[in-house]
Chain A
Amino acid sequence: MSILVDKNTRLLVQGITGKSGAFHAKSCMEYGTNVVAGVTPARGGEVFEGKVPVFDTVHEARRETGCNASMIFVPAEFAADSILEAVDAGVELVICITEGIPVLDMMKVKAAMAKSASRLIGPNCPGIITPGQCKIGIMPGYIHKPGKVGVVSRSGTLTYEAVWQLSSRGHGQSTCVGIGGDPINGTSHLDVVKMFNDDPGTEAIIMIGEIGGTAEEEAAEWLGKNCKKPVAAFIAGATAPPGRRMGHAGAIVSGGKGTAQGKIEALEAAGIEVAATPADMADALLRRMAR
């Protein structure tokens, strides 16, 4: 079992003929993901890699192929529009990899999506993977292995680090979800940990957060009250100076809010094992599981 994606996922790639879109669509196909369609406006009728039909619009792609998830590689200027197009076409799961979308654009997307049943993952995220079944995104597939630990994170490379630690200690993953480093995103830590809690295939959870906002605190509070599965966490940015944006637009401590210390306290109060360093993520989970 897993959450959100599995071998039945039928993937559409928006921006499939672009440089990174093509590269990663291909790498997802090589992993075994069922890529059924691509969209690039004005390139409809082409065939990608000898087997994937390209359409001009998401509506056509959805109608012709029954795609139920979309991976977006459209440049930041046009990405908000692409998300809305996928949502309008009724695609159930929209994963936006694109980095650098203006906050005001995402604010409108989020407000518009409140009325829809679609779920957005990202933007500015590595994507989502259910090892051995379906990879949607830019993560290196080979570090993952099928198993029972759910991983949710705002950061791409830090997720790889956690996955690597787990895999090399013999622990596979149920699903790994990168929710993205932007201040406004489609799916929160809380949304994902709720799904992990409900998933019989997930027996333990690693949650990776970073400074800024209050999403980790909200997830911690819910986990403390509702989750019986062992949870470990790491918060990046304990040494980041306030008021400076640390790469991710969302990673900023302002007005004394969103500090690593505050987040760590909330996590510990909820009975979550907090990794002292990024080298300690998998071991922290193993300690928590042994308790």
Chain B
Amino acid sequence: MNIHEYQAKELLDQFGVANSPGGVASTPTEAEKVARSMGSNNLVVKAQIHAGGRGKGTFTSGFKGGVQLCKTPSEVRNLAEQMLGQTLVTHQTGPEGRVVRKVLVSESVEISRELYFAILIDRAISAPMIVASTEGGVDIETVAEKSPEKIIRMPIDPLLGLQPYHTRKLAKMLRFAPGDMRAACKLFTNLYKLFIARDCSMVEVNPLVVTMGGEVLALDAKFNFDDNALYRHPEIQAYRDIEEEDPREVEASKFNLSYIGLDGNIACLVNGAGLAMATMDIIKHNGGEPANFLDVGGGATEQQVTEAFKILVADKRVKAILVNIFGGIMKCDIIAQGIINAVKAVNLPVPLVVRLEGTNVEAGRQLLAESGLQLTTATDIADAAKKVVAAVA
């Protein structure tokens, strides 16, 4: 799950991780008010969307730049007017862009040094890993490639957690001046607390800065959360912004379906994540393009299958549908009945190829045969992929 920059700032504030002062606004008046309360004349207004490249982005109105520097609260107001309710297009949003519903107004600090600091779960060692570098404010992948010696990696024992000596060691390795060490250590400690307390899978501070005034601040923080742990964090769930998500995925999530929208035209409905991925692969192998990843899971109900089918049919990109089921716990007759119900409810505008195997396969095939539905059956996964690709050709 992704969150907005202003939400990340709220989290940092809650855990005492120093960052630049500011506040969020959804109207120009609010933005001006936030700016006035800050009493600074180095201000920055940032459009809040879930996509990178905002600074270099362009609004469909023609206004350039989703990140703007200014001096006065009235300038903040004007900039917020240019951004709010407008659509911002960046290299990550695609040509349709994203509507800006909130802006973050914060103080633009004078930077003396920029560093990089991240905590993530390293699956290779099954433990948290701190990744840090004196080279901040730039793409860390590039640093890792060009000067790997500048990347610091420190694994943390999951049962022991981050100890004070770790933070001092890190501060020294990152060449903090003696006077800044205490602030740096406090920031590392609190960020680690936040990481654990909210079940993050990654937090990336880039840049971590030392200001001209000697403050140590997390200037920009990106978070990733463990989806499996969201049940114990209602406060993080509340940060979800469905306006920023693919509407197909939002609909699927209502029915606990694991769905990811893609750009192709062959929809697939599969049980099991591995088989769902492999089905996408074999479609592509045969020269087709999958429209989605969809795992209906091991124990899907007839209703879930019906809803899944409706989502596929509603997608205008979809020119054919492939159902690939290997029933283990999932029974083939349940899948068949779910498909029949869905087609009754929505009509079937595109060719349908069905491959059923496994538990109750005979009952499933019989249901489909007797339903009078227009569909093509396939004997195995290779046959299914060939037939569905041929159907869109």
* B282 on interface, CB distance cutoff 8 Å: yes
Instruction: Determine the distance from Cα of A255 to Cα of B121 in the docked complex, in whole angstroms.
Output: 14
* A140 on interface, CB distance cutoff 8 Å: yes
Tell me whether chain B's interface is mostly helix, strand or loop, or mixed.
mixed
Please give the distance in Å from B330's CB to the nearest CB on chain A: 8
A164 in contact with B158 given A247-B258, A251-B277 (CB within 8 Å) = no
A-B contact count (CB 8 A): 172
Q: Are B277 and A236 in contact (CB under 8 A)?
A: yes
Chain B residues contacting A112 (CB-CB under 8 Å) are 159
CB under 8 Å from chain A, chain B span 65-109: none
Q: Are B326 and A161 in contact (CB under 8 A)?
A: yes
Q: Which residue of A lies closest to B282 (CB)?
A: A277
A157 in contact with B299 given A107-B121, A210-B277, A238-B284 (CB within 8 Å) = no
Q: Which residue of B lies closest to A103 (CB)?
A: B226
Q: Are A211 and B123 in contact (CB under 8 A)?
A: no
Say which residue of A103, A164, A241, A280 sits within 8 Å of B229 (CB atoms): A103
Chain B residues contacting A131 (CB-CB under 8 Å) are none
A157 in contact with B141 given A104-B199, A111-B126, A140-B359 (CB within 8 Å) = no
Please give the distance in Å from A283's CB to the nearest CB on chain B: 10
Say which residue of B123, B141, B232 sits within 8 Å of A255 (CB atoms): B141
Q: Are A153 and B328 in contact (CB under 8 A)?
A: no
Chain A residues contacting B283 (CB-CB under 8 Å) are 239
Chain B residues contacting A153 (CB-CB under 8 Å) are 274
Q: Are B273 and A251 in contact (CB under 8 A)?
A: yes
* A223 on interface, CB distance cutoff 8 Å: no
Chain A residues contacting B8 (CB-CB under 8 Å) are none
* A171 on interface, CB distance cutoff 8 Å: no
Q: Which 4 A-B pairs have the closest CB atoms?
A: A155-B274, A247-B273, A157-B272, A279-B382
Q: Can you give 15 contacting A-B residue pairs, CB < 8 Å?
A: A100-B228, A102-B199, A104-B158, A107-B127, A143-B358, A155-B272, A157-B270, A157-B328, A159-B274, A160-B328, A234-B278, A236-B274, A236-B277, A247-B274, A279-B382
Give the B-binding residues of A (Cβ under 8 A).
20, 24, 76-77, 100-108, 110-112, 126, 138-140, 143, 153-161, 164, 181, 183-184, 208, 210-214, 234, 236-241, 244-251, 255-256, 260, 276-280
